[in-house]
């Protein structure tokens, strides 16, 4: 009887997790936890905070290091079909910028991903990225403006710059100067949380 009760508890816990609404984090290395232990990234910290504050969400991190908006667009339909997210946190574009890919194509890819997520019934939170000025001031300005323009046009929740407060602090960045280190990850979560919280339901 005791073994049967334990089995039922495990089944109930598994079912509850399966029924929990999903937050799909869909990004690149900034969200994949590049250079970090699996429990140190801001996405892992987000899952911990949701649990601590008794929000019944399951976080699925579908971020891939090195991903471009074109790669993300190719992957997103399957991710949406597999996870049926209520919220999609979209963090892509940084690798497009670092490769100096055409901004118009990057914007078109982001638009298509936003439209796909919305059509699947998900709310979208857009995380903005900036690139170093050595790519040219005009290109860098046009690049960063994409996120605010899309948030305005599509009426999306927005974090203007995911690495705000960390990017210019050497003690919060990895040696490459691109990715936040473990100490910087709570800063990234602090940037995301105020924009995400209004989308959450208990």
CATH number at residue 59: 3.40.50.1110
- Residue 119 is classified by DSSP as H
Task: Place 146 in a pLDDT band, splitting at 50, 70 and 90.
Answer: very high
Is the CA virtual torsion 188, 25, 23, 154 positive or negative? positive
Domain containing 184 equals: 21-199
Q: Which residue, among 73, 55, 56, 60, has the nearest Cα to 24 in the 3D structure? A: 60
83, 60 Cβ separation under 8 angstroms: yes
- What is residue 24's predicted lDDT score, i.e. its pLDDT? 98
- CA 3 to CA 142: how far, in whole Å? 62
59 in any annotated domain? yes
Residue 8 belongs to some domain of the structure = no
pTM over 0.75: yes
Domain assignment present for 15 = no
- Predicted confidence at residue 135, as pLDDT, reads 80
| Per-residue model confidence as pLDDT tens digits over 102-140 | 999 999 999 999 999 999 999 999 999 999 888 888 999
User: Cβ of 5: how many Cβ atoms within 10 Å?
Assistant: 9
pLDDT band at 202 (very low <50, low <70, confident <90, very high): confident
State residue 8's pLDDT score.
47
Predicted pLDDT at 10: 42
Count of domains for the chain: 1
Coil, strand or helix at 122:
coil
Neighbours of 93 (CB within 10 A): 30
- Positions annotated as catalytic residues are 29, 176, 179
50 pLDDT more than 90: yes
Residue 90 domain flag: yes
In a domain, 4, yes or no: no
In a domain, 34, yes or no: yes
How confident is the model at residue 19, as a pLDDT?
82
What integer pLDDT is reported at residue 18 of this predicted model?
56
Residue 118's Cβ-side half-sphere holds a number of Cα atoms within 13 Å equal to 13
**pLDDT tops 50 at residue 47:** yes
User: Over 70: is that where the pLDDT of 7 sits?
Assistant: no
Distance between CA atoms of residues 129 and 160, nearest Å: 7
Average pLDDT of the segment spanning 51-58: 97
Q: Is the pLDDT of residue 13 over 50?
A: no
Is residue 134 situated within a structural domain? yes
pLDDT of residue 191: 98
Tell me, yes or no, whether 5 lies in a domain.
no
- How confident is the model at residue 54, as a pLDDT? 96
Percent of all residues in the chain with a pLDDT value above 70, rounded to a whole number = 91
Written as six digits, the tokens of 138 are 């005009």
Whether the pLDDT of residue 11 is over 90: the answer is no
């Amino acid at each position: 009887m005791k073994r049967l009760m334990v089995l039922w508890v495990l089944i109930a816990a598994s079912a509850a997790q399966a029924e929990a609404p999903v937050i799909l984090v869909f990004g690149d290395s900034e969200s994949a936890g590049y250079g970090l232990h699996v429990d140190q990234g801001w996405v892992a910290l987000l899952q911990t905070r949701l649990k601590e504050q008794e929000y019944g969400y399951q976080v699925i991190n579908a971020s891939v290091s090195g991903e471009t908006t074109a790669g993300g667009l190719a992957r997103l339909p399957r991710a949406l079909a597999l996870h049926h997210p209520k919220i999609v946190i979209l963090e892509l574009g940084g690798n497009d910028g670092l490769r100096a890919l055409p901004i118009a194509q990057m914007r078109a890819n982001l638009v298509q991903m936003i439209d796909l997520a919305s059509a699947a019934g998900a709310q979208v939170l857009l995380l903005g990225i900036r690139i170093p000025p050595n790519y040219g001031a005009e290109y860098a300005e046009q690049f960063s403006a994409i996120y605010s323009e899309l948030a305005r046009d599509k009426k999306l929740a927005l974090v203007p710059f995911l690495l705000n407060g960390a990017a210019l602090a050497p003690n919060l960045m990895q040696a490459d100067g691109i990715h936040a280190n473990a100490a910087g990850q709570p800063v990234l979560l602090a940037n995301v949380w105020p924009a995400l919280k209004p989308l959450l339901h208990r």
